[in-house]
Each structure stands twice: as structure tokens, then as C-alpha cells.
Amino acid sequence: MDTAPAQDPGQLTFRDAADADVPALVALIESAYRGDSSRTGWTTEADILQGQRTDPNGVRRVVEAPGSRLLVVERDGELVACCQLEHRGEAAYFGMFAVRPGLQGAGLGKVIIAEAERTVRESWGVREMHMTVISVREELIAWYERRGYRRTGELSPFPYGDERFGIPQRDDLAFELLVKDLG
């Protein structure tokens, strides 16, 4: 959703998450995707999934996993966003992307994804960035397409019955692989 005029995202700092960041990261991710607070932004999944988006154990696994980084994005020392980067051979996986709902639509996402792409190219020398997006999230997929990602049509099933990923409100959910050539 690029309808808001681009605003200066301010001075952002990027760092790897530490165990002490886990509670704040869980709160950020939940606020961006679930419940009424998520409706402030445009990335909400509240109409298609209820329940949790993640939990402390899930975030901690990303923080501690070999070949994985959870980038913390701060502005003036305040947590404003995060994203997961995982090294997968010739590609990197981009996930767990969350921007504080009240700050969405102000240009932060574009800056963060560009930094994530730069980071994986420089750190791991990968040629592609991969991500999965719930296939019914057309507006979100269109936003990624404007950033150079392409739909592959490759679907993987949504984990129905595993409430660690939320409680589906519809029966047609699947994840679609999006890919970007990083040159």
C-alpha cells in the first residue's frame, strides 16, 4: 500500500536481536498482525487468522538458530520493526517482518527490506531472497511485487490445526513463495 506520501523514516539503526529483546519482539509482531491493534496498520491478518502469530519460543528459536538473524530496527532507541533473515544455500529467506502499526505506510518497510537485501548479499553472498506470504493477502503481495519480488505460483499448505500459527478463519489458506533476484 503505497498511497501515503513518502516520509523521512528518520535515523534507523539495525542490530541483531538478543535474548533480552524477545518479549518486546513478540509484542511488536503480535501488534502488527493480530487483534485490534493490528487494524491501525495495513498488514493485519486479523480477518483471516485469530490467536497468536508467534510466541517467545518461536522468536527465541529464530534468534538462536545457526544461519539465522533476527534484525531489530530502532529509531531513537525505540523498537519500530524487525525481520528474520535465514541463510538457505544460494538464497536467503525473509520472514517475521513487522513494522509497528502506527508507523506503517510511512516508508519504513521500503527502507528495511532494502537493508535486509543488502545485508544478505554482503553477509552471505546470496543471489536470491525468498519469502512466503499467505496467498490470499493480495494487497501485501502487490506491495512486495512493487519491491521487485515475483510470484512463483509455488504453494505450500497452511498448518491447519497447529495453533502456534494462529486459528484460521477461512479454509483456503496457503503460503505462496515470492522470489527476488538480488543480482
- Asked whether the predicted pLDDT for residue 35 surpasses 80, the reply is no
* pLDDT value for 1: 41
What percent of the residues of the chain are helix, what percent strand, and what percent coil, each to the nearest 5?
Answer: 35, 35, 35
User: How many Å apart are CA 166 and CA 172, to the nearest integer?
Assistant: 14
pTM: 0.87
Do 177 and 132 touch, CB atoms closer than 8 A?
A: yes
- 21-35, 41-55, 65-79: range with lowest mean pLDDT: 41-55
* pLDDT value for 29: 92
Class of domain 12-131: alpha beta
Instruction: Return mean pLDDT, the chain.
Output: 88
Q: Which residue has the higher pLDDT, 122 or 161?
A: 122
- Listed residue (80, 67, 78) closest to 115, CA to CA: 80
DSSP β-ladder status, 49-50 and 78-88: unpaired
Torsion from C-alpha of 37, 43, 45, 46, nearest 10 degrees: 30
- Asked whether the predicted pLDDT for residue 70 surpasses 90, the reply is yes
User: How many Å apart are CA 81 and CA 114, to the nearest integer?
Assistant: 14
Residue 177: strand pairing partners: 132
- Asked whether the predicted pLDDT for residue 53 surpasses 50, the reply is yes
- Asked whether the predicted pLDDT for residue 10 surpasses 90, the reply is no
Express each pLDDT in 99-122 by its tens digit.
Answer: 998 898 889 999 999 999 999 999
Residue type, 53: R
- 18-22, 106-110, 143-147: range with lowest mean pLDDT: 106-110
User: How many Å apart are CA 137 and CA 64, to the nearest integer?
Assistant: 29
- Asked whether the predicted pLDDT for residue 136 surpasses 80, the reply is yes
Mean pLDDT of 49-63: 86
Domain ranges of the chain: 12-131
Torsion from C-alpha of 39, 159, 67, 127, nearest 10 degrees: -80
